[in-house]
Structure 1
Amino acid sequence: MRLAGFLFCLVLCSIAQASPISIIPMPAQLKLAGGSFQVDDSTQVVVPPNDAATRQSAQYFVDLLGRTRGLHLTLTENAQAGHAIVFMHDPKAAVTQAEGYTLAVSAQGIRISARDDAGLFYGAVSLWQLLTPDAQQGVVHVPALHISDWPRFAWRGLMLDSARHFQSADDVKHLLDQMAQHKLNVLHWHLTDDQGWRIEIKRYPELTQIGAWRTPPDAGHDGEPLSYGGFYTQDQIRDVVAYATARHITVVPEIDMPGHAQAAVASYPQIGVTGKRPSVSVDWGVNPYLYNVDDATFQFIDNVLDEVMALFPSHYIHVGGDEAIKDQWKASPVVKAKIRALHLKDEDALQGWFIGRIGTYLTAHGRRLIGWDEILDGGVPADATVMSWRGTDGAIKAAKMGHDVVMSPSPDLYFDSVQSDLTDEAAGRIPVRDLASIYAFNPIPASLTVAQASHVLGAQANVWTEHIPTMQHVEHAVFPRLDALSEVTWSPASARSWNGFLARLPAQLERYAVQNIAAADTAFEPQIQVDANAALKSGQAVVTLSNQPKYGAIHYTINGGAADTHAPVYSKPFTVQLPATIRAATFADDGVALAVERTRVLDRASLLSRAGVDLPNCPGSDFRLRLQPMPDATSMAPVYAANVFDTCQQFPSAPLDDVTAIHVEAVRLERNFALAHDEKLVVSRPHRTPYGELVVHRDRCEGPVLASMPLPDPSTSGRIFSLNATLTGQHGEHLLCLIYTAPIDGPLYALARVSLLSSQKGEGKP
């Protein structure tokens, strides 16, 4: 069996790499034949009479092809089934798996058949991909082939966080369109959290009148809105759910409990532990507000769930269960009395009882509870499904206990993690989760037996939006990493090939462009690397060009000219005299641009300068975020590296010969982070001036002080400001440690750029 699997993979992978077939995710079985079939405006699409589901899939295909290829095919029930595209249900189809289909192309026509509606729909998606192998319009010749295809996993999901930052209903539908094109079938919709309640509940109108709106920090200044928020009406939710259903996507709502409840408690303080009304949170992280555990609060939750279940037909209802710190429960005599009355061990057990009560209510209404893996900590209903986010340990534990699990681990499948550590990367979390790492993810932990592995329903990626404020940013974070996820969750493991995937991706990038999807080109972005210190000493730079997957042809120029397909192709490091301007871009074999052009100026000023995002953290804390200047900024740039625990970064091997001064472009950020029990880890340093200083140490962070630059009054200075100091008598290369001593109860500071200035000719601020 292993030999057969190896041979199958060998054949399939060679097809994927050598053929023009660009289907993502890769079909389970694909066999090429001789000849082709021409599709043009005269081609008819044939469906059986009185088959509404088949007509719906065929109409979806016709409409999508018209929008993207400019081919406008006629849908009919009466044409001859010869020279045409035929959709049909076939209860005896060879592919017996749910959601599976067959797609056959010959010189006489195209035929898609499936046993169920979802299979026909996914066959339509694959055919659309066959008919959009490039960005051209009009007639297309489809190679003769036979596809038998079915999914590896039943749960192929994407989580969208609409609580931290709000997307319009049309934005959500736009995302659903792309999920359908990737054969994903679950949208996990995160609708409530500390920072916003986004779903209309008619019985409790203040959930959206109050809970859907927050007052941003520094509201009204530097473009920060006076109020931020929004919510979905029940009519909008019905519309989104219907839109998803038509694309064979189930929408699973998440209503967070017992923690992440601050927006709900801000709306109705009586459901909270203290009875006091907080504001809707503006802080990312872990806030302390929990639901109460009295009967009135459970009646509130039950009433909310009644309206949620009426809107969402999903078998699963997600109840969160994560990051519920128990400080409020521990401080409440009423809650302590409840624990004693229930004969529970502690507050963790109380959360288990809480989740169990919710699970019982959902079961009584024909639904099933799903929650984050913390629901395991205090005991969990026997039929609960566990979504593992704290790595994979939760999934392993749950599967061994007999629970169904969905793999959604951090950081492996967190699409709010950045895609590279390059200077122009967008905002997001660290560590880097690049395209290759997503493609390499295995949803089945090696420690599970075959029987235990059968509990793994599938996998999903999460898009938490604390640092992803707009739909443009969501698309940048999701695409093309979603292509990798789709292949992980759909294609058989034996059919997956990283090189084959890369070969199929250029056509998909063109599909994104045609549909105005703001996909990231980070994976293929040319990195322009030089040894800055060696170049400063010699007056010439050895330039190395590369990209993450080492795929595509990198074209470049050294004189500032356009790096198009007529420019030289990079093959090995080359040397340029300073000053020079390097421009580089990456192209596929057929000339499709895989990444837009990047530019790097090489002169003395730029080589003595470092962007703050390029300066590593000081030892002791590896926490790092890439942040925009305001929590609710709507732009993609600028972005700054920040460590909320320790504002200390290093300039390694700073060349100090002839350096006379240091110039820093500094930035003041909002310290809007709820750190809960980790607050004690924030490093506080003494300061000599009212607002603190930026202190520069040599060689180590406790080394000699080279400069101390007072920070300006935040109330009178701009968000971005300059700091300058002289540096005298320094020689050689030294590590510089740059530390902000600002009070930790005030703003958070970061480095935009650090520049060393010297008296040599050609010096100047970059």
Structure 2
Amino acid sequence: MSLFKLCVANLVTLFWVVVPAVMGANIIPQPSYVQEKQGTFDLAHNNNILYAGKHPEVNQIIDNFMEQVLGDYGLRLQANKSKKAGILLQDKKSLNEEAYELSVVANKVVIKASAPAGFFYALRTVNQLILADKNHTLLPCILVKDAPRFSYRGFLIDAGRYYLPLKDVKKAIDLAANYKLNRFHWHLTDDQGWRLEIKKYPRLTEKGSVRSNSAIGTWDQYYPRHYDGKEHSGYYTQDEIRDIVRYAADRQITIVPEIEMPGHALAALSVYPEYACSFYSSLDLMAGAGISDQVYCPKPQTFRFIKDILTEIASLFPGEYIHIGGDECPKTSWKQCEDCQALIRKENLKDEFELHAYFIQQVEKIAEGLGRKLIGWDEVLEGGLPLKATVMSWRGEAGGIKAAQLGNNVIMTPNTYCYLDYYQENPEFAPLAIGGFISLEQVYDYEPIPEALTAEEAKHIIGIQGNIWGEYVATIEKFEYMAFPRLLAIAEVAWSQPGNKNRELFISHLKKEFSFFQKRNVNTCREYFRPRIQGGWDSEKGMYAVTLETICPDADIRYTLDGSEPTVESDIYEGPVYLTENTCVKAVVTDKDNQILEAPTVKNFLVNKATGCTYTLSTDAWSLDWYPVKPTLFTDGVQGFTPSNYEWAAIASGVEIVIDLKKNTTVSGVRFGTMVAPINSTLPAKSMICYLSKDGKEFRQIGESTFSYPVYKGEKEIYHNYVKTEKKDGRYLKLVINGQTELPEDYPYPNALPSIALDEIEVF
């Protein structure tokens, strides 16, 4: 992207010329302009705050700030009407609403802003400067001029899957506000529950908020699915909604309520089934992740029902947006519904996709009549009919690019960068997540304005959002683990100009934030303080290399290779560690005082004659999840594990795998891992035939085995099979792996093509 294009595209709210921030300013998100000076301001002796401007709301902001610093640091500040106060807040009309200026000199702190938001953000910056001082009393002398890059800086809480108590929602709002996020996207309804009171339709919460149980494990871990047998319920009364709206507004956060339609609507249709395509006397809520085929039927009475609901929603949430979802809407029931087919003919629509767009158009008219703007996920564009809606681009960036080119405003939230319910550390040991993998650095490095857009089109990118979906997030502790610290990276991407971003600086600033999280009893992900262990073949040295790294600044890594627990006396990592045999690597991070910061990270590596070798497949392997299949997956030295599919791939029965052992090698046996997972239509391998060749053309059979397995017990399970071969020499090892040709009738998809799950191939 050209510098000119970046500058034009980023003039969302910024009006200052961007001057790179000084490297030492310990502030997240990084301000637009920072100038550090000599000296400090002592809050313990200059603790009076004065605001005499025209915005009475600022007094509440000051009260909240004083309460926070008292609770966090024991620092007592007081509001004062004397102009001799050490901290002065002054109106400056020329600044935009979210901008501020902060000047700290030895005897005075002056904050200037034009609106409550600017004063609020300035005090958030002051709070971070207090945190950075080890005694929490001194502010560095500094000049900050700051304004956000994007006007929409959001985070999502999914209460539809699991109700989150009001106090926990408030805690999440407090944490987000500390990093200048300003939109709380509240996902309140889904196939698993309805979470807000609608006076006109009481059954939505009387019954629609209650499900009899919840699914256990990943979507493919058990078959049949396992359930906890525990009722899950909860909803927010309208009085509670008003309370949380006020609470958020006091922290400059506007709530964007999401009421899902036409799909993800089973919670409503389970209690008002007359608004589905076919009348069912009973529809049960979903207990786990998934998508129901039951969706709203686009008939007049349905739109009256929706209008009634949105009318109450608009009375509760004063923000400009109502989010109506619009994503993942199966068309099955519409294709079978006489009313839907008649409507398609009447409105001269092409198909069910245009019917979907027609549905969104009707809801958009309702929202406009209520004085609200519509937001929808990028599927709202699929029908091709014109909409004014703001689009949330979640399936990558393609939807956002298309929307911006059409002239729609866009909020970027691609699942490849902004889905904070994905794993952030090694899935083998991390708390259960829905899948995927997005590291802290990946989030931070995201650039929300795609290069495919012109400068004019880029103006339609109004912000970015981090999403913490709730399929596997049942508590505030799990929410915090998934969100922090990655949500801070979202905040900096949303606020800071690209020229001011610095990943190394951001990561160093994070260290102080963990002390803040500790004060607030926030259950953060601690991967920051743990080593990352990776293994791979070093082709230059012809050996298997293990690398250790940590993003924690001013830290060492100590490790062991014999399975023992690392201590402060263990070897310090200084470069790649080379392995010649199966090895259990354990490592810890130690700080500058040689204190161990977290429990050890553990990783087992398999090193054998196949490790690091290339191979070819007669038919392509495919992913069992959304992880890409690595070209070295079967010989990378890492075994698969469950319940994650991270180190697994599926192959067809009868596939031939030819491994190039690099040189003539003595082969006496082969071992591999296989797995049973009915929901993935995978069965363990039935047999393997081994062939060996010196030239890759003429192969001779050297071994064959068939395998038997215990009776399937309902859970995904791994088996390790060994084939003893004749002891022969050769360079090219061909393995023919056979599986079942048909799936059992009691499998969920008995007519599907069976596959074999495979992880690591070992050669002896």
TM band (smaller chain): 0.7 to 0.9
Equivalence for 2:709:
710
Equivalence for 2:467:
462
1:343-422 paired onto structure 2 within 5 Å: 343-380=348-385, 382-421=387-426
Q: Give 3-state SS (helix, strand or coil) of 1:12's partner.
A: coil
In 2, the alpha carbon distance for the partners of 1:547 and 1:706 equals 42
Identity %: 28
Equivalence for 1:74:
77
Letter in 1 for 2:297: N
In 2, the alpha carbon distance for the partners of 1:75 and 1:737 equals 75
CA-to-partner distance for each residue in 1:226-273, whole Å, 9 max, x for gaps? 333432222222222222111111110111111122221111110000
Equivalence for 1:12:
20
Q: Give 3-state SS (helix, strand or coil) of 1:213's partner.
A: coil
1:194 matched to 2:199? The reply is no
> How far 1:312 moved relative to its partner?
1.1
Equivalence for 1:629:
none
Equivalence for 1:584:
587
In 2, the alpha carbon distance for the partners of 1:549 and 1:326 equals 46
Distance 1:437 1:639, change over 3 A: same
Equivalence for 2:631:
none
1:436 matched to 2:441? The reply is yes
Distance 1:416 1:90, change over 3 A: same
Letter in 2 for 1:394: G
1:82-161 paired onto structure 2 within 5 Å: 82=85, 84-86=86-88, 88-92=89-93, 96-133=95-132, 136=134, 138-161=135-158
Equivalence for 1:547:
549
Tell whether the 8 Å contact from 1:106 to 1:145 is kept in structure 2 after alignment: yes
In 2, the alpha carbon distance for the partners of 1:251 and 1:39 equals 34
In 1, the alpha carbon distance for the partners of 2:113 and 2:75 equals 24
In 1, the alpha carbon distance for the partners of 2:196 and 2:19 equals 49
CA-to-partner distance for each residue in 1:535-593, whole Å, 9 max, x for gaps? xxx9xx98734237596533214377875667654212357999987542235668797
Equivalence for 1:678:
none
Q: From 173, 178, 186, give the equivalent of 1:176.
A: 173
In 2, the alpha carbon distance for the partners of 1:156 and 1:213 equals 32
Q: Give 3-state SS (helix, strand or coil) of 2:708's partner.
A: strand
In 1, the alpha carbon distance for the partners of 2:442 and 2:462 equals 21
In 1, the alpha carbon distance for the partners of 2:403 and 2:55 equals 42
In 2, the alpha carbon distance for the partners of 1:529 and 1:642 equals 14
Q: From 298, 313, 320, give the equivalent of 1:315.
A: 320
Q: Give 3-state SS (helix, strand or coil) of 2:270's partner.
A: helix
Distance 1:77 1:10, change over 3 A: closer
1:296-315 paired onto structure 2 within 5 Å: 296-315=301-320
Tell whether the 8 Å contact from 1:506 to 1:592 is kept in structure 2 after alignment: no
In 1, the alpha carbon distance for the partners of 2:115 and 2:54 equals 16
Equivalence for 1:675:
none
> How far 1:191 moved relative to its partner?
1.2
Q: From 204, 209, 223, give the equivalent of 1:207.
A: 204
**Structure 1 alignment gaps of length 5 or more:** 611-615, 627-636, 672-681, 685-691, 759-766
> How far 1:129 moved relative to its partner?
0.5
Letter in 1 for 2:195: R
Equivalence for 1:556:
558
CA-to-partner distance for each residue in 1:464-484, whole Å, 9 max, x for gaps? 222333332222221111111
> How far 1:315 moved relative to its partner?
0.7
Pick which of 484-493 and 577-586 moved more: 577-586
Letter in 1 for 2:164: Q
Distance 1:401 1:142, change over 3 A: same
Equivalence for 1:275:
279
Distance 1:10 1:709, change over 3 A: farther
In 1, the alpha carbon distance for the partners of 2:676 and 2:45 equals 57
Equivalence for 1:37:
41
Distance 1:280 1:449, change over 3 A: same
> How far 1:415 moved relative to its partner?
1.5
In 2, the alpha carbon distance for the partners of 1:575 and 1:546 equals 12
Tell whether the 8 Å contact from 2:30 to 2:501 is kept in structure 1 after alignment: yes
Q: From 212, 218, 242, give the equivalent of 1:238.
A: 242
Pick which of 153-162 and 654-663 moved more: 654-663
1:670-689 paired onto structure 2 within 5 Å: 671=679, 683=681
In 2, the alpha carbon distance for the partners of 1:752 and 1:596 equals 31
1:26 matched to 2:26? The reply is no
CA-to-partner distance for each residue in 1:712-731, whole Å, 9 max, x for gaps? 254xx7x5878687754476
Q: Give 3-state SS (helix, strand or coil) of 2:588's partner.
A: strand
Tell whether the 8 Å contact from 1:159 to 1:463 is kept in structure 2 after alignment: yes
Distance 1:367 1:464, change over 3 A: same
TM-score by length of 1: 0.79
Tell whether the 8 Å contact from 2:378 to 2:393 is kept in structure 1 after alignment: yes
TM-score by length of 2: 0.79
CA-to-partner distance for each residue in 1:416-463, whole Å, 9 max, x for gaps? 222245532333345422122211211112222222211111111222
Q: From 60, 63, 86, give the equivalent of 1:59.
A: 63
> How far 1:598 moved relative to its partner?
2.0
Number of aligned residue pairs: 698
Equivalence for 1:632:
none
Letter in 2 for 1:74: L
Pick which of 471-480 and 543-552 moved more: 543-552
Tell whether the 8 Å contact from 2:275 to 2:302 is kept in structure 1 after alignment: yes
Letter in 2 for 1:107: A
1:712-751 paired onto structure 2 within 5 Å: 712=711, 714=713, 719=715, 727-729=723-725, 743=744, 745-746=746-747
In 2, the alpha carbon distance for the partners of 1:584 and 1:501 equals 25
Equivalence for 2:11:
none
In 1, the alpha carbon distance for the partners of 2:162 and 2:651 equals 26
Tell whether the 8 Å contact from 1:418 to 1:433 is kept in structure 2 after alignment: yes
In 1, the alpha carbon distance for the partners of 2:291 and 2:670 equals 45
CA-to-partner distance for each residue in 1:295-353, whole Å, 9 max, x for gaps? 21111111111111122111100111112222211111121112222233322222222
In 2, the alpha carbon distance for the partners of 1:755 and 1:241 equals 56
Q: Give 3-state SS (helix, strand or coil) of 2:177's partner.
A: helix
Q: Give 3-state SS (helix, strand or coil) of 1:428's partner.
A: coil
> How far 1:80 moved relative to its partner?
5.0
**Structure 2 alignment gaps of length 5 or more:** 8-15, 217-223, 612-616, 628-640, 692-700, 750-754
In 1, the alpha carbon distance for the partners of 2:672 and 2:348 equals 65
Letter in 2 for 1:104: S
In 2, the alpha carbon distance for the partners of 1:601 and 1:345 equals 55
CA-to-partner distance for each residue in 1:180-207, whole Å, 9 max, x for gaps? 0111111111111222222221221222
Q: Give 3-state SS (helix, strand or coil) of 1:709's partner.
A: coil
1:474-489 paired onto structure 2 within 5 Å: 474-489=479-494
CA-to-partner distance for each residue in 1:18-54, whole Å, 9 max, x for gaps? x2x3211000000011111223377333333896322
> How far 1:103 moved relative to its partner?
1.2
Letter in 1 for 2:260: D
Q: Give 3-state SS (helix, strand or coil) of 2:557's partner.
A: strand
> How far 1:705 moved relative to its partner?
6.4
Equivalence for 2:509:
504
In 1, the alpha carbon distance for the partners of 2:737 and 2:244 equals 51
Equivalence for 1:761:
none
In 1, the alpha carbon distance for the partners of 2:747 and 2:45 equals 65
Tell whether the 8 Å contact from 1:694 to 1:711 is kept in structure 2 after alignment: no
1:427 matched to 2:432? The reply is yes
Letter in 2 for 1:306: T
Letter in 1 for 2:491: S
In 2, the alpha carbon distance for the partners of 1:92 and 1:592 equals 51
In 2, the alpha carbon distance for the partners of 1:198 and 1:347 equals 29
Equivalence for 1:166:
163
Tell whether the 8 Å contact from 1:553 to 1:569 is kept in structure 2 after alignment: no
Tell whether the 8 Å contact from 2:559 to 2:573 is kept in structure 1 after alignment: no
In 2, the alpha carbon distance for the partners of 1:543 and 1:724 equals 25
